[in-house]
Amino acid sequence: MSTLWESRYSLRARESKSSAIRELLKLSERPGLISFAGGLPAAEVFPVQRFQEACQKVLATNAGPALQYGATEGYEPLREMIARHMARYAILATVENVLVTSGSQQALDLIGKLLINSGDRVLVEAPTYLGALQAFNGYGAQYLSVPIDDDGLRTELLEASLRLGPKFMYILPNFQNPAGVTLSQERRHQLIGLADKYGIPIVEDDPYGQLRYEGEHLAPLVVLDRENLRRDNGFSIGNVIYLSTFSKTLAPGLRLGWIVAPPKIISKLVQLKQAADLHTSTFAQYVAFEVARGGFLDQHVKLIRGVYRERRDVMLQALKEFFPPEVTWTRPQGGLFLWVTLPEGMDSQSLFQSALAENVAFVPGDSFYAGNGPESCRHLRLNFSYPNPEQIREGIRRLAVAVKRQLSTSPCEVAC
């Protein structure tokens, strides 16, 4: 049964955590199971009628270009809209600073392709977004992991790793995936100062920044960096590449993300994107533009915030009510996730099996670490955007049953 492909060549893709998670997510599709495992938006908040109107308008007035090949950089009116949208968050970008990508995942892949040579080190938070590790792994990245706490990356521990010369830092400052924590104002300034001191650029990944449910918006790293450089020339210089997406505010099925970067970086990324997929779906871009325009995006984000804030609150309340005191969790001010820490000696892989028996699922936290320390086994990522409030309450009740059963038995025997 072997083929030339297999017998002659060691196929490069490795069996990895990603496969484990894929299998896990398949498991979690079984009927009756309540899943906190995915990172999906609630389908109830998709603006379906607005999509219907947008499709009709695009196809009635602009069908030719919307169905044709397009520019690798993206549909120009959409790029302009993104630049204007960024300005609302104090990110002063022009159309030349914006590249539309096939979701934020492609942005991570293109950045990996541009910057990482095999063996290069990338500084990441511990834990960090699994999809970034997958993208960077493909280019042979090694990692320097710096822990986080409730105020995000522990910048006081950063210098030892920066001295080892990472190629760049990959940072999720807002409502981090998986932990839900936010980098404090003070640490943002420290991070930018250290990046400058050691000459290490930053990739700032901000898919959830707009989904803040309480507290004040904090300045993005890309804005602080520009202030630090004290050069008021828009975006022609700058050492932070900023990423965001429409996946959490309009619909992930569009696969539309974007990169904001200096034009010289954009132009390199455009060349790589051309080789990767020529350009992102023009039809999806035209439709997204029609959906988002005229202030709709901001108005719709307000609606989403209300829905997700309620779900977060229901989850926090249920955790408080059902979980034993030995277990702790983060209190995210926005985003889609919170992060549970189990007491020492318990591990999340064993708990996962018990949880499945109770018909509830989550992602064990070890998937989100570049390395495998004992610390990585004690966490679970819980998503609160996809299940509805009733499911959240019932799911946390079930999970608490599994947690209590695990607590009452012997410490884990599974090495993770």
Q: Are the C-beta atoms of 39 and 336 separated by less than 8 Å?
A: yes
Could you tell me which residues come within 8 angstroms of residue 232 by beta carbon, excluding any fewer than 6 positions away?
none
Q: Are the C-beta atoms of 28 and 22 separated by less than 8 Å?
A: no
Closest approach of Cβ 320 to its own copies, in Å? Answer: 30
Q: Closer CB to its own copies, residue 96 or residue 358?
A: 96
Closest approach of Cβ 239 to its own copies, in Å? Answer: 4
Please choose, from the candidates 259, 246, 297, the residue with its C-alpha nearest in 3D space to the C-alpha of residue 72.
259
Q: Closer CB to its own copies, residue 51 or residue 329?
A: 51
Q: Which two three-digit tokens encode residue 304?
A: 């989403």
In 104-247, at which residue ranges do the beta strands (DSSP E only) sit?
121-126, 142-149, 152-153, 168-171, 202-205, 240-245
Q: What angle do CA 278, 281, 285 make, to 5 degrees?
A: 125
Closest approach of Cβ 80 to its own copies, in Å? Answer: 19
Size of the chain in residues: 416
Question: Virtual CA dihedral for 4, 6, 9, 14, nearest 10 degrees?
Answer: 160
Please choose, from the candidates 395, 406, 326, 407, the residue with its C-alpha nearest in 3D space to the C-alpha of residue 362.
395
From the centroid of its chain, how far is CA 83? 21
Q: Closer CB to its own copies, residue 140 or residue 147?
A: 140
Closest approach of Cβ 342 to its own copies, in Å? Answer: 28
Q: Closer CB to its own copies, residue 200 or residue 399?
A: 200
Q: Could you tell me if residue 77 is left (phi over 0), alpha (psi between -120 and 50 degrees) or otherwise beta?
A: alpha
Closest approach of Cβ 56 to its own copies, in Å? Answer: 7
Please choose, from the candidates 313, 316, 330, the residue with its C-alpha nearest in 3D space to the C-alpha of residue 380.
330
Pairing between β-strand 142-149 and β-strand 121-126 as defined by DSSP bridges: parallel
Pairing between β-strand 240-245 and β-strand 202-205 as defined by DSSP bridges: parallel
Closest approach of Cβ 179 to its own copies, in Å? Answer: 21
Closest approach of Cβ 1 to its own copies, in Å? Answer: 6
Q: Closer CB to its own copies, residue 27 or residue 272?
A: 272
Closest approach of Cβ 42 to its own copies, in Å? Answer: 10
Q: Closer CB to its own copies, residue 117 or residue 410?
A: 117
Q: Closer CB to its own copies, residue 116 or residue 380?
A: 116
Q: Closer CB to its own copies, residue 232 or residue 413?
A: 232
Closest approach of Cβ 285 to its own copies, in Å? Answer: 9
Question: Virtual CA dihedral for 219, 232, 71, 272, nearest 10 degrees?
Answer: -80
For tokens 């499911």, the residue is 391
End-to-end Cα spacing for the chain: 34
Q: Closer CB to its own copies, residue 152 or residue 252?
A: 252
Amino acid at 211: L
